[in-house]
Amino acid sequence: ARKESSVFIFHPKSFTRKLTNKIINHKYWETCIIILILLSSILLILDSPLNDPDSTESLVYDILNITFTILFAIEMVLKMVSMGIVHNSQHKESYFGNAWNYLDFLVVVTSAIDIFTGGGDSGLKSLKSLRALRALRPLRVISRNEGLKIIVEALFRILNPLKNLIIIAGVFVVVVANISTSLFKGKFYSCEGLSEVELESIITK
C-alpha cells in the first residue's frame, strides 16, 4: 500500500490525490503553464543587473520573480503528489521518471535559492551566481510540445556519431588559436596615424 502512495503519504483513492490528478489533467492546465513560462521569460528579458536595486522597477521585478517561483513550485508539488516522486503504480512514469521534469525541478530550486540569498550577508550569498540558470525557464516550453521534444531528442542522438568530428574540429580551433597568438601577439596594441590631441579625444566605454 505504501508503494502505491505518492510522496509515501497520499493513497491513489485519497481526496488530495484525486484532486491533483484532476488539476494537472485539466485541458487548460498546460496552456496556463505555458503562459506563465512565456511571461517569466519576458521578465528575464526586461530585468537587468545594471538596474538600481533600490528602484521601484527592481522592486516590481523582484515581486514578479517571487510570484512566478511560487507558482512554478506549486506546479511541481502538484505533479509530485499526483504522479509520485520516484514511483507510481498508476502512471507509466513518476515525476522523476520523466527526464524533462529534472529541468523543471532545477529551475524551481535555483529560483528559490536566488530568492533566499537575495540580501544580507548570508553565507549562501555565494550561490547567487546560480540565478543565471533562470535563463533555462524558456526551455520548459519544449517539454510541453511533442514536436519540439522530438527535434531536441533527435539532436542529442546525432551527437554521439558526430563526437569524433567535434573533437577534431575542437583540436583544429585550438591549433589555429595558438598559431594566431604566436604570430599576432603585440601587433594590435597601439594606434597609428593619429596625433596625441586626436588620441585624447577618443572616448572608450
Which pLDDT score is estimated for 198?
Answer: 65
Which pLDDT score is estimated for 75?
Answer: 92
Which pLDDT score is estimated for 77?
Answer: 92
Which pLDDT score is estimated for 168?
Answer: 92
* Three-class DSSP category at 10: strand
Whether the CA torsion 107, 77, 144, 61 is positive or negative: it is: negative
User: Is 111 within 8 Å of 72 (Cβ atoms)?
Assistant: yes
d(CA 83, CA 70): 20
User: Is 17 within 8 Å of 81 (Cβ atoms)?
Assistant: yes
User: Is 82 within 8 Å of 17 (Cβ atoms)?
Assistant: yes
List per-block mean pLDDT (blocks of 10 residues) for the chain, which spans 205 residues.
Answer: 65 84 89 90 82 84 90 92 73 76 88 73 58 76 81 83 87 89 71 62 59
* Three-class DSSP category at 6: strand
Reference 78, options 138, 33, 136; nearest CA is 33
Q: How far is CA 96 from CA 3, 85, 101, in A?
A: 15, 6, 6
